[in-house]
Each structure stands twice: as C-alpha cells, then as structure tokens.
C-alpha cells in the first residue's frame, strides 16, 4: 500500500463477496450513466430537443427513483442497540430522505 491510511483497504478485495458487490455496483452505475448519456444525446441530436427540454424529459425518471428510495428505506437498518449515532447516513442527501423514518 502506498498510503499509511487509505480510504479503502485494498485487502478487502480478497473477500469474494466484497469484490462481487463492487463489480455489481460499478456495472449498475456505468449502465445508468450510459443510458442517461445516450438518451440525452438522442433527444437533442436526433429529435432536436433543446438541452432544457431534454433535461425536463428526465424528471419523471428522477421522481420514480426518489419515490422508490423513500418506500424501500435503507437496505440494512442499524441495530437498535447502537443508538441514534448508528442511524446517521454517510450520504448527505439520503439523510434528508429518511428524516421521517428516524
């Protein structure tokens, strides 16, 4: 390791489940980004929409994603024994989405 305190310990990739999770996450992220990029290009270059109209066409997608996030909640809720500190989300926007569940 080239750093004394890396953000992510490279030795974690030895764990098969961790490695599979990272690959699945990266695949999903790349697919979502690729779809968004290609779809926005299609709307602008093929259909002749303005950048604003193209972005507004994606609002229903964002609305559905946010609604599903609010319905599903966290994947693994923290144990009650750890108290309020364990319920804090490391993702700032997610903390506000879950404010009514705490």
Q: What is the pLDDT along the chain (102 residues), one digit of tens a residue?
A: 577 788 888 888 999 999 999 999 999 999 999 999 999 999 999 999 999 999 999 899 889 988 888 888 776 666 666 555 555 555 555 555 545 554
How many residues in total does the chain contain? Answer: 102
Q: Where are the domains of the chain?
A: 1-49, 58-102
CA distance 41 to 67: 26
CA distance 79 to 94: 18
CB contact set of 22 (below 8 Å; sequence gap of 6+): 13
> What was the pLDDT predicted at 96?
52
CA distance 36 to 59: 12
């Amino acid at each position: 390791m080239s750093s004394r305190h890396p953000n992510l310990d490279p030795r974690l990739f030895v764990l098969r489940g961790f490695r599979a999770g990272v690959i699945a996450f990266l695949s999903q992220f790349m697919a979502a980004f690729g779809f968004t990029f290609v779809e926005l290009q299609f709307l602008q270059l093929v259909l002749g929409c303005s950048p604003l109209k193209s972005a507004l066409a994606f609002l229903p997608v964002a609305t559905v994603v946010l609604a599903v996030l609010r319905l599903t909640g966290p994947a693994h809720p923290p144990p009650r024994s750890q108290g309020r500190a364990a319920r804090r989300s490391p993702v700032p926007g997610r903390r506000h989405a879950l404010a009514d569940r705490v």
